[in-house]
Amino acid sequence: MARKLVVATGNAGKLREIQEYLTGLPWELELKPGEIDINETGTTFIANARLKALEVAKALGKWSIADDSGLAVDALNGAPGLYSARYGKTDTGRINRLLRELGETDNRQARFVCAIAISNPEGKIVLETEGICLGEILKSPRGAGGFGYDPIFYVPSQQQTFAEMSLEKKSRISHRGVAFAQLMPDLQQLSLV
């Protein structure tokens, strides 16, 4: 019998993505109800993931999983960071702002970060991790796949941007893929009663 795990998001796309990572585990994922509104007041990705997982678990009395992720650029002191999704109104707007702010800076080092937290129904974090994918910011977009900052996030070890990679490759090496790979041994042992 499948066990319920509430994904602390209203985004059906994120629900599908998390379901892909959890394939083979006996959990039935469901979206958090729209009326539960969570104010992300944390100052780190892991703090926001914890906050979302705890709030949903406590409100519903169910197991909950949450993630918080974003892009941190060294030359911009970690920006856009927690504000990655709010750095502009559209993906193109966010990319253009980032490239404008970086200008001709030689230091293009960046990392995508994904923090994941799982809370039990009593509102206690039982698992958490943070996955990181190191890369560089290109001066112009490359590739037609992906979303967000993918066309300008270049992974030297793969010699491709996220937008040039197959979905399978991106999901394996991305920050989210790394985070779920780190969690899987513990997730498989976790008893969701």
Which CATH number goes with the domain that contains 47?
A: 3.90.950.10
Q: pLDDT class for 12, splitting at 50, 70, 90? A: confident
Distance CA 132, CA 113 (A): 5
CA dihedral 48→7→134→99, nearest 10 degrees, is -70
Under a CB-based contact definition with an 8 Å cutoff, are residues 140 and 102 in contact? Answer: no
pLDDT tens digit sequence for 147-187: 899 999 999 999 999 999 998 999 999 999 999 999 988 88
Q: Characterize 117-151 residue by residue with b for buried, 16 or more Cβ atoms within 10 angstroms of its Cβ, and e for exposed.
A: bbbbbeeebebbbbbebebbbbeebebeebebbbb
Residue with tokens 């008893």: 191
Average pLDDT, the chain: 92
Q: What are phi and psi of 128, to 5 degrees?
A: -160, 155
User: Is 68 annotated in the active site?
Assistant: yes
DSSP per position, the chain? -PEEEEES-S-HHHHHHHHHHTTTSSEEEEEPPTT-------SSHHHHHHHHHHHHHHHHTS-EEEEEEEEEEGGGTT-BGGGGGGSSSSHHHHHHHHHHHHTT-S--EEEEEEEEEEE-TTS-EEEEEEEEEEEEE-SS---SSSSTTGGGEEETTTTEEGGGS-HHHHHHHSHHHHHHHHHHHHHHH----
Q: What pTM was estimated for this model as a whole?
A: 0.92
Region 57-70: what's the mean pLDDT?
Answer: 95
Output the pLDDT for position 27: 84
The Cβ of residue 36 has, within 10 Å, a number of other Cβ atoms equal to 15
Assign 98 a pLDDT band (cuts: 50, 70, 90). Answer: very high
Q: Report the number of distinct structural domains present in the chain.
A: 1
Tokens 């992906």 — which residue?
A: 146
Catalytic residue among 68, 91, 106, 186: 68
- Greater model confidence, 13 or 94: 94
Residue-wise pLDDT tens digits, 169-178: 999 999 999 9
- The pLDDT, as a whole number, for residue 4 is 87
12 or 100: which leads in pLDDT: 100
**With bands split at pLDDT 50, 70 and 90, how would you rate the model's confidence at 191?**
low
Q: In what order do the strands lie in the sheet with 64-73?
A: 27-31, 3-7, 64-73, 109-119, 125-137, 153-155, 160-161
- Domain around 71: 3-189
pLDDT for 67 beyond 60? yes
**Averaged pLDDT, 39-47:** 94
